A and B are shown apart, each in its own frame.
Chain A
């Protein structure tokens, strides 16, 4: 079988130890693949495991179980030189552009480093490449921006620097973790469009992490909805927002601004149980349609139509 996925995660599980409390599984047997030039959005409430999943894909974390394939290579446990090389291929953009930049270094320095360390360019060539990168992210005149320090930039400009830095290693995959959530509305659109045009130019693949379904629909080809460490539904962006299948996706959509209804289904509140001993569907305690079975068995992701999977026993019962 030909596999044109740039990245493929199979049954990833990520465990965190806690003090005096049972371990949690922040990601629980999650499989996900992203094709060439494809954007997949990972959407869900805070604590659902999105960031952990993203960090595992770019191997800033080592998964506890499961496999990460990058262009057909198993990168789950690589280390040392191979891991450094992988980091040039798979980059992460953080939510807070300020925290991810060093206040004592110029923009130019931030971009030269990865060019030299990840791509092995000489200092002279790196300098020239810096101005290309700044041009690509719209920070011109580039000479002016090269010399600036992070505090001299606006939030939107800092996020552009972070994007340029992610591009410096010439990656095939970029994980963008809530890249616009700290920016003002008038600046968000520019960053989203920049990500889009960079994808067109460089043929990159993105994992776009967000809690905002509307921006996910805008940027992504496919949307995966995460709840309580699991992917509960995945479909093309348009299908997911127009004909969701999973009860949690219904709830999330109803709660989002611009949805067809303001009325929320009656649900309990409360965070999902992330401990390993949990049995059943992670959404069962809040689900308005919960059945006895949901509390004892974990529903698998099943195809509800082509390119649309959802993890809910209702699909097997034949009801919505």
Chain B
């Protein structure tokens, strides 16, 4: 499998009036062509920060960032501003959390496509633009006729489809989606997700699908990265429907046990006691230490072991889970 994007040792700290607050710690992951890699984590675990850092959207006065984000041959953190502008949309496109509300209310849907396309492909003729717009809208199962409409004339689900079509406009290889369907109803959500899956297969896209909803991501992604308090705990190929023999990080296990099943035979659910930690007060050890049923004394202060294989579990209490066992 070919690498589409590699995130290497990302550390991100926001600059706040009270000093630096470390939000992402040593995040490394590889996204391959033709796969959906899910990223799940609870609110505040750093998912949106990760997405925005990958796109290099933070100005230096907002956050201090070290590490690399490599797309193709280029490290987005060393390229020129001009190259960066080209890479965004053309190579890596992003659908933001609540971006369906970020469409410009005073211009038509067609004008959104025209602006996006012309910014990168200034030689396109009006006819070519119209044709591309029509194709893109059809891919997300919208009638081309809605190009004439303004954002407020469309439902939330339709606007979100427009945003996805816009992200696809320059035929990117990597698509980053941050909670792409969170505000939508179950049925609309599922139909958009099914379309995302179909488009991914058709275009062999590399998709980073970020969501707080573990069961939803499980139903779509080939691999799932589990984040907790700014760190990756695990990357697994087995989501919600894991059978009991599959080893998981204790946090992931807790999540699986906490979610009621729609049809399965497990009737019991168990929450994870306690609350996620305050990022500003985290020590050096495992961030899940306080809530972990399997914790050892060493977990409180010993940093999580580094891992960079395709799948892994970072847990001191599971030393027998060697990287090799999890090579995909």
Contacts of A135 in B (CB 8 A): none
**Contact between chains at B191 and A193 (CB < 8 Å):** no
Number of interface residues of B (CB under 8 A): 40
B259 within 8 A of A: yes
Question: How many pairs of A and B residues are in contact by the CB < 8 Å rule?
Answer: 114
Is B309 an interface residue when CB atoms closer than 8 A count as contact? no
A247 interface residue (CB < 8 Å to B):
no
CA distance A263 to B219 in the complex (A): 12
The reply to whether B262 and A187 form a contact with Cβ atoms under 8 Å apart is: no
Given contacts A185-B255, A214-B261, A255-B191, is CB(A45)–CB(B186) below 8 Å?
Answer: yes
A184–B240 Cα gap in the complex (Å)?
A: 16
Q: Are B275 and A252 in contact (CB under 8 A)?
A: no
Chain A, residue nearest B158 (CB): A269
Taking A184-B42, A213-B262, A214-B259 as contacts, is the C-beta distance between A258 and B272 under 8 angstroms?
Answer: no
The answer to whether A241 touches B262 (Cβ under 8 A) is yes
Q: Which of the residues A157, A241, A252 comes within 8 Å of B186, measured between beta carbons?
A: A252
A215–B261 Cα distance when bound, in Å, is 8
Q: Is B273 an interface residue (CB 8 A)?
A: yes
Task: Give the contact stretch, choosing among B99-107, B116-124, B208-216.
Answer: B208-216
Are B260 and A217 neighbours in the complex by a CB distance under 8 Å?
A: yes
What are the residues of chain B within 8 A of A214 when measuring CB–CB?
A: 215, 259-262
Q: Cβ of B189: which chain A residues have Cβ within 8 Å of it? A: 255
Chain A residues with Cβ below 8 Å from B272 are 186-187, 189
Chain B 31-43, CB-CB to A under 8 Å as 1, else 0, gives: 0000000000011
Nearest Cβ on chain B to A214's Cβ, whole angstroms: 4
* B240 to A, closest residue via Cβ: A258
Of the listed residues B186, B257, B264, the one surrounded by the most CB atoms of chain A closer than 10 A to its CB is B186
A24 at the A/B interface (Cβ < 8 Å)? no
A45 vs B184: C-alpha distance when bound (angstroms): 9
Whether the pair B255, A262 counts as a contact (CB closer than 8 A) is no
Query: Within B241-277, which residues are at the interface with A (CB < 8 Å)?
Result: 241, 254-255, 257-264, 267, 269-273, 275-276
**Which chain A residues numbered 211 to 228 have a C-beta less than 8 Å away from chain B?**
211-215, 217-218
Interface range on chain A (Cβ under 8 Å from partner): 35 or more
Contact yes or no, B258 A254, CB < 8 A: no
Report Cα–Cα, A5/B263, bound state, in Å. 29
A156 contacts partner chain B, Cβ-Cβ < 8 Å = yes
User: With A255-B191, A257-B215, A258-B240 as given contacts, are A186 and B258 in contact (CB-CB < 8 Å)?
Assistant: yes
Q: Are B273 and A255 in contact (CB under 8 A)?
A: no
- Which among B189, B241, B260, B272 has the greatest number of chain A C-beta atoms within 10 A? B260
Determine whether A304 belongs to the interface, using a CB cutoff of 8 Å to chain B: no
Docked complex Cα distance between A251 and B186 (Å): 10
How far is the CB of B261 from the nearest CB of chain A, in Å?
A: 6
Q: How far is the CA of A242 from the CA of B254 in the complex (A)?
A: 26
Contact check, A190 vs B271: say whether CB atoms are below 8 A apart. Answer: yes
With both beta carbons as reference points, the residue of chain B lying nearest to A251 in the complex is identified as B187
The reply to whether A185 and B262 form a contact with Cβ atoms under 8 Å apart is: no
Q: Which B residues, 194 to 209, have Cβ-Cβ distances below 8 Å to chain A?
A: 194
CA distance A46 to B240 in the complex (A): 26
Interface class of chain A by DSSP: helix
Q: Mark A248-289, 1 if CB is under 8 A from B, else 0.
A: 000111111111101110010111000000000000000000
Q: Is the CB of B157 within 8 A of A184?
A: no
Across the interface, B260 reaches (CB within 8 A) one of A46, A154, A192, A242, namely A192
What is the CB-to-nearest-CB distance from A282 to chain B, in angstroms, rounded to a whole number? 14
Of A186, A191, A192, A256, most buried by chain B (CB within 10 Å of CB) is A186
Say yes or no: is B188 at the interface (Cβ < 8 Å to chain A): yes
State how many angstroms separate the Cβ of A213 from the closest Cβ of chain B: 6
Q: Compute how far the CA of A189 lies from the CA of B87 in the bound complex, rounded to whole angstroms.
A: 42
B185: CB under 8 A from chain A? yes
The chain A residue sitting closest to B257, CB to CB, is: A189
| Known contacts A214-B261, A258-B215; is-contact A189 B275 (Cβ 8 Å) | no
Contacts of B240 in A (CB 8 A): 257-258
In the bound complex, residues from chain A placing their C-beta under 8 Å from that of B264 are 258
| Inter-chain contacts of A258 with B (CB < 8 A) | 215, 219, 240-241, 261-264
Instruction: Report B-chain residues with C-beta under 8 Å of the C-beta of A191.
Output: 271
Q: Say yes or no: A184 contacts B212, CB within 8 Å.
A: yes
Give the distance to chain B from A266, nearest Cβ to Cβ, in Å. 10
Question: Is there a chain A Cβ closer than 8 Å to B190's Cβ?
Answer: yes
Given A215-B260, A242-B263, A184 and B187 touching (CB < 8 A)? no
Near B by CB (< 8 A), chain A positions 136-181 give 154, 156-157
B262 with A189: CB separation less than 8 A: no
Q: Nearest-CB distance from A97 to chain B (Å)? A: 14
Residues of chain A whose beta carbon lies under 8 Å from any beta carbon of chain B: 45-46, 154, 156-157, 184-193, 211-215, 217-218, 241-242, 251-260, 262-264, 267, 269-271
Can you pick out 29 interface pairs between chain A and chain B where the beta carbons lie within 8 Å of each other?
A45-B186, A46-B185, A157-B275, A184-B212, A185-B212, A186-B254, A186-B255, A186-B272, A186-B276, A189-B258, A189-B269, A189-B270, A190-B271, A192-B269, A193-B269, A193-B270, A213-B262, A214-B261, A215-B260, A217-B260, A218-B267, A251-B187, A255-B186, A257-B216, A257-B218, A257-B219, A258-B219, A263-B194, A269-B191
